Structure 1
Amino acid sequence: MKWSEICIHTTNEAIEPISNILHEAGASGVVIEDPSDLIQERESVFGEIYELNPEDYPEEGVYVKAYLAMNSFLGETVDEIKQAVNNLLLYDIDLGSNQITLSEVNEEEWATAWKKYYKPVKISEKFTITPTWEDYTPVSSDEIILELDPGMAFGTGTHPTTVLSIQALERFVSKGDMVIDVGSGSGVLSIASILLGAEQVFAYDLDDVAVKTTTINAKINKVDSKIQSKQNNLLNNVDFEADLIVSNILAEIILRFEKDAFRCLKPGGLFITSGIIKAKKDQVKDGLISAGFEILEVNQMEDWISIIARKK
Structure 2
Amino acid sequence: MSNSDWIQIKLRTTNQLADTIADLLEQFGALSVSYTDAEDSPILEPRPGERKLWPNTEVTGLLAQGTDPEPILSALKAILGDHIPMMATHLEDKNWIRAWMDQFKPLKFGKRLWICPSWLSVDEKDSVVVMLDPGLAFGTGTHPTTALCLEYLDSLDLAGKQVLDYGCGSGILAIAALKLGAKNALGVDIDEQALIASKENATRNGVIDRLELFMGTDKKLNLPKSPITVANILAGPLAELEPIIADLTESGGLLALSGILTEQADSVIEAYSRDFIMNKVKDKEGWALLTGTRK
| Cα distance in 2 between the residues matched to 1:183 and 1:98 | 29
Question: Quick one: which of 286, 289, 293 aligns to 1:303?
Answer: 286
**Deviations, residues 150-202 of structure 1 (Å, cap 9, x unaligned):** 13542421211011001111223421111111111111001011011111111
RMSD: 2.6
The structure, 1 or 2, with the larger RCO (C-alpha pairs under 8 Å, 6+ apart) is: 1
Q: Alignment partner of 1:185: what SS?
A: coil
In structure 2, distance between residues paired with 1:123 and 1:114: 23
Relative to its length, the structure with more helix (as a share) is 1
The equivalent residue for 1:227 is 211
* Corresponding residue for residue 103 of structure 1: 61
Structure 1 residues 108 and 236, CA gap change in structure 2 (3 angstroms): farther
Matches within 5 A, 1:23-172: 84-85=51-52, 97-104=55-62, 110-134=96-120, 136-139=121-124, 141-172=125-156
Identity, % of aligned positions: 29
- The alpha-carbon distance between structure 1 residues 296 and 237, as it changes in their structure 2 partners (threshold 3 A), is same
User: For residues 236 and 196 of structure 1, do their structure 2 counterparts lie closer, same or farther at Cα, with a shift above 3 Å needed?
Assistant: same
Unmatched 5+ residue regions in structure 2? 1-30, 65-92
Partner of 2:17: none
Match in the other structure for 2:177? 193
Q: Does 2:169 correspond to 1:210?
A: no
**CA offset at residue 228 of structure 1?**
1.2
The one-letter code of the counterpart of 1:14 is: I
Question: Quick one: structure 1 residues 252 and 243, their matched pair in 2 at CA, closer, same or farther if it must change by over 3 Å?
Answer: same
Aligned to 1:4: 33
Q: CA deviation at 1:85?
A: 1.3
Counting matched residue pairs gives: 238
User: Is there any run of 5+ residues in structure 1 with no aligned partner, and where?
Assistant: 25-80, 87-94
2: CA distance between counterparts of 1:171 and 1:105? 49
Q: Specify the code of the residue in structure 1 equivalent to 2:288.
A: I
- Residue 229 (structure 1) shift: 1.9
What are the superposed Cα offsets for residues 109-141 of structure 1, whole Å, 9 maximum, x if unpaired?
Answer: 65245313212122332112111112x2422x2
The structure having more radius of gyration, on CA atoms, is 2
How far, CA to CA, are the matches of 2:61 and 2:280 in structure 1? 44
Q: Which residue of 2 aligns with 1:42?
A: none
Q: TM-score, normalised by structure 2?
A: 0.73
Name the amino acid aligned to 1:126. R
Distance 1:241 1:137, change over 3 A: closer
Paired position in structure 2 for 1:184:
168
- Could you say which residue in structure 2 is the equivalent of 1:16? 45
**Which amino acid in structure 1 is aligned with residue 43 of structure 2?**
A
In the alignment, the residues of structure 2 paired with residue 203 and residue 108 of structure 1 have an alpha-carbon distance, to the nearest angstrom, of: 40
The equivalent of 2:18 in structure 1 is none
